[in-house]
Amino acid sequence: MIKFSPSGVLSRHHQLIIELQGGLDLLVILSLLWGMTFVFNPPITKSLLYFSLLLAVLVPITFRLMGLYQVQRDADYPKIWLGWGVIAALVLLVSIPSRTTSYFLSPVLGIWLVISPLCLSLMHFITRSSLQQVQASGSRTAIIAGTGEVSQQVADRLYNNPQMGIKFRGYFADKDNGLRTEHCYPLIGYLDELPDFVRRFRIDVVYLTLPLSEEEAISRLILALQDTTACVYFVPNLMMLNLMQARVHTLDGLPMIAVWEIPFSQIQAGLKRSIDFAIAALITIAISPLMFLIAIAVKLSSPGPVLFKQQRYGLNGDNIVVYKFRSMKVMENGAKVTQATQDDPRVTQVGAFLRRTSLDELPQFINVLQGRMSLVGPRPHAVAHNEHYRKLIQGYMLRHKVKPGITGWAQVNGYRGETETLDKMEKRVEYDIHYLNHWSLWLDIKIILRTALVFFNHQNAY
């Protein structure tokens, strides 16, 4: 059984608002500082720039350490004021000896120090109110497998807690166990119909509430649901001991076990996204002259566009467009996509060099800036390959619980390029699942460093 570390049951809109809160806080603080400086002391000096850079470092770190950006129903105003007090003390401690605030008139600092936390409190009130409205709309959908007492308890908690952002669609009954279903409304269908329903209607969360005696039915469902991107939770009907490595959650006090889940928390996801954006922006700026030269070489090498745009599966199995420099004379993006092989006649001379050095994948930094991809994650496959291998490899679709990456754990362990046999693809998926189960920021850094070492290795790149 595959288990991921818990991340809670949050809507994607919820995650986005929380992730943006830190940037909004810094924007408010710097806007107030520059605005009042312009009013009271118009000359803009280097001291103001140094002071702003100091705030850009201190504000997000301090507020995160205070727990201000944790998932919570209401804005935590004491943390805002306490965090601001710490920031003010650190700023004065650092800036006064270095004389970076010497040019300020006293009213500027005084007014700024008082107004900033007031404006931050107002901003948090507005964003938290918006968050509650988004959550109340039910931005994630859930179904329940089972119709017993535990099933009704789960449904009651979903109905009574709209702020969780989960819209309950209905129950699926086990027609073989003879349980009464008159109190389970709406009743959508039976268990054997559940996996197809999840795929067709893109259900986000499935709660398994079947009794432990239904081990065979539970196993069948778990196997079938591995071909979806839904988060799956097993809700026990008794206190379980010796759970080994099972991950335990609670839904308004009701215990449940995560069979598989998103591998990182909301805060970790926000940090990973911030790092992705910062690094991708710097790299894109640095390599823009190189990309311009490659674009010219591709255009001169053969007729066709410079970029190859291909539909692939992204986060939660959603279709995304991935960019690469065109390395072939053909543009395969349909129901059948043939992988490149050694000495493939479709590959141009320029394309062969780009593939050997992985330079053809440089445009994917644009995908990272767009938020479609991450620097590190399972490599995205063509849609045709996904549809082929999901039928052959158990748990194949689980690799789409995170954003695809430019590089990944499988690639730095030798599984990049062509996977001409099923065994090789199974090993690649095995490494991808290992990445999901053992994710950490340090693992991402380790993969990036190892990628740099093998960047110009020609093995398996045709």
Give the domain CATH number at 235: 3.40.50.720
- The answer on 410 and 365 residing in a single domain is yes
Instruction: Please tell me the distance from the alpha carbon of residue 322 to that of residue 341, in angstroms, as a whole number.
Output: 21
Instruction: Please tell me the distance from the alpha carbon of residue 55 to that of residue 25, in angstroms, as a whole number.
Output: 11
- The answer on 128 and 155 residing in a single domain is no
- The answer on 440 and 304 residing in a single domain is yes
Per-residue pLDDT of the chain (462 residues; tens, 9 = 90+): 333 333 344 444 455 556 677 788 888 888 888 887 777 766 666 777 777 888 888 888 888 877 777 655 455 678 888 888 888 887 777 666 555 555 454 567 778 888 888 888 888 877 776 666 555 544 689 999 998 888 888 998 888 887 677 889 999 998 776 556 667 788 999 999 999 999 999 899 999 988 877 888 888 899 899 888 888 998 876 444 333 345 667 777 777 767 667 777 777 788 888 888 888 888 888 888 899 999 999 888 888 888 888 889 888 888 899 998 888 876 555 555 555 555 567 778 888 888 888 888 899 999 999 889 999 999 988 888 888 888 888 888 888 888 999 999 998 888 876 667 888 898 999 899 889 888 888 889 899 888 877 655 544 544
pTM of the predicted structure, to 2 decimals: 0.53
- The answer on 333 and 307 residing in a single domain is yes
CB atoms within 10 A of CB 27: 12
The interaxial angle of helices 266-301 and 12-40, nearest 10 deg, is: 90
- The answer on 188 and 164 residing in a single domain is yes
DSSP string, 185-232: -SEEEEGGGHHHHHHHHT--EEEE---GGGHHHHHHHHHHHTTS--EE
| Segments forming the whole domain that contains residue 74 | 12-136
Q: Is 227 contained in some domain?
A: yes
- The answer on 283 and 216 residing in a single domain is no
Instruction: Please tell me the distance from the alpha carbon of residue 361 to that of residue 257, in angstroms, as a whole number.
Output: 39
Q: Is 2 contained in some domain?
A: no
Q: 166, 172, 207: which is closest to 187 by C-alpha?
A: 172
Residue-level pLDDT at 130: 62
Which of 223, 239, 260 is the endpoint of a domain? 260
Residue-level pLDDT at 171: 93
Q: Is 461 contained in some domain?
A: no
Residue-level pLDDT at 168: 92
- The answer on 280 and 255 residing in a single domain is no
Q: Is 459 contained in some domain?
A: no
Which of 237, 260, 283 is the endpoint of a domain? 260
- The answer on 290 and 421 residing in a single domain is yes
Q: How many domains does the chain have?
A: 3
* H or E stretch covering 10: none
Q: Is 374 contained in some domain?
A: yes
Residue-level pLDDT at 339: 57
Which of 106, 136, 166 is the endpoint of a domain? 136
Residue-level pLDDT at 247: 64
- The answer on 151 and 132 residing in a single domain is no
Nearest 10 degrees: CA dihedral of 370, 373, 374, 380?
-160
DSSP string, 363-379: THHHHHHHTS-EEESPP
DSSP state, residue 241 = -
- The answer on 430 and 317 residing in a single domain is yes
Token readout for 86 is: 């710490």
Q: 160, 169, 165: which is closest to 252 by C-alpha?
A: 160
- The answer on 427 and 381 residing in a single domain is yes
Angle, vertex CA 274, rays to CA 440 and CA 457, nearest 5: 65
Instruction: Please tell me the distance from the alpha carbon of residue 18 to that of residue 15, in angstroms, as a whole number.
Output: 5
Token readout for 402 is: 């995170």
